[in-house]
Structure 1
Amino acid sequence: MPRTRLLLPALALAAALAATAFGPLPPQNPATAPNGNAGMHGDSASSDTTPYAGPGTGAVNWSRTALASACPTVTVGRDGYPVALCTTIFGQTPTVHLLDPANGNDLASLELPKGALFGGVYAYLDQDDRLVGVDGNDNLLRIGHHRNSGGSWQLTIDQSTPLAAAIPSGDNIVGLSPGWDGKVWFATGGGVIGTADTATGTVRTLATGEGVANSISTVPGHTAVATDHALYLLGQAADGTPTVQWRAPYDRGPGRKPGQLSWGTGATPSFFGPGDGTEYVTITDNAAPHENLLVYKVDAGPTPVCATPVLTKWAASGTEDAVIASGRSVFVTNTYGYPYPALPEGAPASVPSSASYQGGLARIDLNATGTGCATVWESDVKSAALPRLSLGDNLIYTVTVSGPTDSVGAQTFATYSHAVIDPNTGAKVGGTAFGIGLLYNPLQMTGTTAPNGTLYQGTETGVLRITKK
């Protein structure tokens, strides 16, 4: 069992646990599938929570759908069918797959024109169960799944909105998220932030001059984008042009850390709060040797109400994962030294040039007045996936790794396991081994729990389907 270190004094810890109430969920975006299943981070606020109970702490059944692709985004629509956005191992071609909810089988697939690495990562499911993403030609697509006349399934491009005229040559769209008014927000690797009205084709943009390597997040009235220099909170003018509500620069450190894909924060901004789930927004910075958790009050930025070093149990910390953010609690995963098999084109050398992967997970709580925060526990859970907090059963689900992990080649002999973590203590309370090797490596991608409790976990080579035994 992974060891945990409780950091609050005993009386303070008891009071904190007694007062803990994870949640609420962020407000349901009317332009997405239900919260928990709408995108890589569960909802447009990127809380990395789900309302659905998972397989639990007991024994599980699991199966693997081999797709010869890394599958970072698995969504589940109102009709119960999982839709996954994957990138092929050979050729790095973005491909959409429709899976059978009964057994995980691949029912239909659709290849998209290839673009930048992150263009095949971030997408979301809209209110009509269509996957919204971008192709390599900078078209904003809505991809639906339909039965043909013979009864079999097919994936089709139901709507295409060209964005190329608004994007500088050589730039590519990285992240996108829907606003509450029906427009789609997007950000490019070169730092152009825009809105697209897919009903009229109108596109409006704002150039920041800073790089973006993560997705973006939306709640009513606000969009959050983390560049490689600062966190931006944005609104929009009457014509849809993005406007800066505030900009908060952060410590980007001396360079890209090993275990991260870019030089800057590795975190998509996450909205959270104990009221309506939108009062605060948080990211991690890239300070060395330990990153800081930064929490901002949305209506009072850009000075953080919390700026505290995290994952200090280890010699260094950094993360390529978004945090879990719920109620007054934030959970941060340590990916420092994690050996990704590929880096985005143009990624700078890491500083230092290499490091061992130690893992680690920490919980940090905002105080009752929202004026500071403290670490509740640090656990040596060695998570190879981005964890997800279930508000349905009060458990964190992830995939852990044991054995050699300090190089891409060594991962051939690593063991990957389904793992269940108690969010109150950081202790591992359940788990089942999948197997050894790259077939099961989740590459720091997150799992998605369907309303019936089935957990879908993307891996380097396909999708795992996990159910209660």
Structure 2
Amino acid sequence: MPLSLPAGGHLAALALSLTVTLGGTAAAPASPFGPQAPQNPATAANGAATMHGDSASSGTTPRPGPGTSAVDYSRTALASACPTVVVGSDGYVIALCTTIFGQTPTVHLLDPVTGADLASLALPKGSLFGGVYAYLDNADRLVVVDGNNNLVRVGHRRAGSGWTLQIEQSTPLGNAVPAGDNIVGLTPDWEGRVWFATSGGVIGTVDTGTGAVRSISTGEGVQNSISTVPGRTAVATDHALYLLSAGPDGTPVVDWRAPYDRGPARKPGQLSWGTGTTPSFFGPGDGTEYVTIVDNAAPHGNLLVYRASGGPDPICRIPVLTQYARSGTEDAVIASGRSVFVTNTYGYPYPALPEGAPASQPSSASFEGGLSRIDVNAGGTGCSVVWNSPVKSAALPRLSLADGKIYTVSVTGPTGSAGLNTFAQYHHSVLDPATGAQLTSSFLGIGLVYNPLQMRGTAAPDGTLYQGTETGVVRISKR
């Protein structure tokens, strides 16, 4: 596939708004990327603990994927959009989905051999965001906030000849979440506190052992998840990137705030006005030196990279995806070593938008896709574009540090609002992170049942890839 080589080098909020739209053992890196983000002691193994792999939101996995040989695939139909798919230490797959009819957040336990739905548990319905971002803790329990603003831990266990899912712990958040507000993202820190952020801009911590909740308000909206590394938490509002730590009693403390260019309006292909990215920590030393987002500047978003231990001045601000007249992203980046990979979602035709989303400018645009790799220089003083790829990714890509490949679901054919759900063709695609070249592409299917809605696949210990879609989960394995 031809590549452009420059000289220099809420998503899922949508998944919950589908009402009328139907018709781990770490391996040595096999590439120059990495290191893997540090393992959070409060989560399951890196690579399969969160939607973005780990609490740093690196978008990487220490596990191999299906590779470039022939693949087999099967689909688990759940009549639900499934933005978060994680895998426990026992190999069982847990998916947090939202039913298309009724918008009910539901946890599913899937068989690791067949993908069959073994058990499910519906949670109280609340905000659209309550069933999107979750994580798997170190006891293989899914941690999520339900519609009653309770932080719950959902465990799975055998029940006779079958399986059951049940709430093993519930911690009320009380008045830390104002009436009418809702939890957007949550992730634990190294002390075991659970950090959360609300769409109204409240940032807080929860000690589920004592029930203590501490919070502050930024007065700015939050539409993406949040990220943690030892001693630091990153939250991107619709105006600025915040780097925070916890005070002695757990109250969030703002270490620095970095305003960014939020652009003149929401772009088509994004779900909110502001950055579409969850902050990602990365770095060539211990995987925590830098933190990055993409802003919403027009006509092209800028990759912003900050030194986490520094302050609000970025070490680089570089336009990305400039091979197109206009670009933007709703996807969290892949960030590993000195490299960041950015996906273009400009014009991506989501079948629905979150309630209250402002009008986009322009009102619509064609979806051209494309990815770019940007590297931080060895001195940590600037960035340059390494390659641009024309691959039209319909999912959030993931980088395997075990086999040195990027995995995604690409789309061909009609990708307008109707075409995406009825005529678009979806493919399991593998890219070379060194060059951006597409190494292989395997046809999966046509229409909404295979539409990944810019959601990210997760690799199991055996290399099987589980990809959430608009109507369930697709299981992709090496033949």
Which bracket does the TM-score occupy, shorter chain normalised?
Answer: over 0.9
1:26 aligns with 2:37: yes
- Residue 6 of structure 2 aligns with which residue? 7
Is 2:277–2:329's contact at 8 Å kept on the other side of the alignment? yes
The answer to whether structure 1 residue 40 and structure 2 residue 51 are counterparts is yes
- Cα deviation, residue 119, structure 1: 1.5
Cα pair 2:373 2:385 within 8 Å, conserved: yes
Query: Is 1:54 aligned with 2:53?
Result: no
Return the match for 1:144 from 141, 152, 155.
155
Indicate the residue corresponding to 1:368 in structure 2. Answer: 378
Q: Which residue of 1 aligns with 2:316?
A: 306
What is the deviation of 1:433?
0.4
**Cα distance in 2, alignment partners of residues 408 and 279 from structure 1:** 43
TM-score (norm 2): 0.95
Question: Which residue of the partner structure matches residue 115 of structure 1?
Answer: 126
Instruction: Name the structure 2 match of 1:84.
Output: 95
Instruction: State the distance in 2 between where 1:427 and 1:119 align.
Output: 37
| CA displacement 1:149-199 (0-9 Å, x = unmatched) | x23100000000001321111000000000100110000000000000000
Instruction: Report Cα offsets for 1:11-51 as digits up to 9, x if no partner.
Output: xx6xxxxxx72000010000000000001000000000000
CA contact (8 A) 1:195 1:240 kept: yes
Partner deviation per Cα, 1:376-423 (whole Å, 9 max, x = no partner): 000111000000000000000000000111224553100000000000
Q: For 1:243-258, list aligned pairs within 5 A.
A: 243-258=253-268
Matches within 5 A, 1:293-332: 293-332=303-342
Q: Which residue of 2 aligns with 1:435?
A: 445
What is the match of residue 210 of structure 1? Answer: 220
Aligned to 2:179: 169
Q: Which of 456, 462, 465 pairs up with 1:455?
A: 465
What is the alpha-carbon distance in structure 2 between the residues aligned to residue 118 and residue 24 of structure 1?
31
In the alignment, structure 1 residue 345 sits paired with structure 2 residue 343: no
Kept after mapping to 2: 8 A contact 1:456/1:464 = yes
In structure 2, what is the equivalent of residue 219 of structure 1? 229
Q: Say if 2:305 and 2:316, in contact at 8 Å, map to a contact too.
A: yes
Q: Which residue identity is paired with 1:146?
A: R
Conserved in 2, the CA contact under 8 Å of 1:266 and 1:321? Answer: yes
* Secondary structure class of the residue paired with 1:165: helix
Please say if residues 349 and 420 of structure 2, whose CA atoms lie closer than 8 Å, have aligned partners that are also in contact: no
Q: Would the aligned equivalents of 2:47 and 2:61 in 1 still touch at CA under 8 Å?
A: yes
Deviates most, 326-335 or 426-435: 426-435
Distance 1:166 1:408 in 2: 41
Of stretches 137-146 and 114-123 in structure 1, the one that deviates more from structure 2 is: 114-123
Shift of 1:92: 1.1
Are 2:96 and 1:71 aligned? no
5 Å-filtered alignment, 1:331-410, equals: 331-410=341-420
* Paired residue type of 1:134: V
Contact 1:225 1:231 in 2 (8 A): yes
Is 1:425 aligned with 2:424? no
Tell me which residue corresponds to 1:17.
none
1:468 aligns with 2:467: no
* 1:131 aligned partner: 142
SS at match of 1:339: coil
The partner residue of 1:411 within 418, 421, 427 is: 421
Q: Which runs of 5+ in 1 are unaligned?
A: 14-19
Deviation at 1:118, TM superposition (A): 1.9
Whichever residue aligns with residue 263 of structure 1, its letter is W
C-alpha distance in 2 between matches for 1:84 and 1:179: 22
Give runs of ≥4 in structure 1 deviating > 6 Å: none
Distance 2:428 2:280 in 1: 25
Instruction: Give yes or no for contact 2:420–2:448 (8 Å, CA) kept in 1.
Output: no
Aligned residue among 243, 268, 278 for 2:288: 278
* Residue number in structure 1 paired with 2:238: 228
AA at the equivalent of 2:473: V
CA drift of 1:120 comes to 1.1
Q: Is the 8 A contact 2:420 2:451 kept in 1?
A: no
Please, what TM-score do these two structures have when normalized by structure 1?
0.97
Contact residue 59 and residue 431 of structure 1 kept, 8 A: no
Q: Which moved more, 1:116-125 or 1:252-261?
A: 116-125
**Which one of 172, 190, 194 corresponds to residue 184 of structure 1?**
194
Q: For 1:81 and 1:408, locate their aligned partners in 2 and report how far apart those are by CA, in whole Å.
A: 35
Between the aligned partners of 2:444 and 2:246, the Cα distance in structure 1 is: 46
Q: Using the alignment, how far apart are the partners of 1:463 and 1:404 within structure 2?
A: 22
Aligned-pair RMSD on alpha carbons? 0.9
SS at 1:4's partner residue?
Answer: coil
The whole-number CA distance in structure 2 between the counterparts of 1:412 and 1:234 is 44
Q: Does the CA contact (< 8 Å) of 1:124 and 1:132 recur in 2? A: yes
Q: Partners of 1:136 and 1:162 in 2: how far apart?
A: 11
Is the 8 Å Cα contact of residues 47 and 325 (structure 1) preserved in structure 2? yes
SS at 1:185's partner residue?
strand
Structure 2's unaligned 5+ residue stretches are 10-30
Instruction: Tell me the distance in 2 between the aligned counterparts of 1:164 and 1:382.
Output: 43
Q: Is the 8 A contact 1:58 1:431 kept in 2?
A: no
User: What code does the residue aligned with 1:467 have?
Assistant: S
Residue 8 of structure 1 deviates from its aligned partner by: 3.1
Secondary structure at the residue paired with 1:6?
coil
- SS of the aligned residue for 1:259 comes to coil
Q: May I ask how many residue pairs the two structures share in their alignment?
A: 458
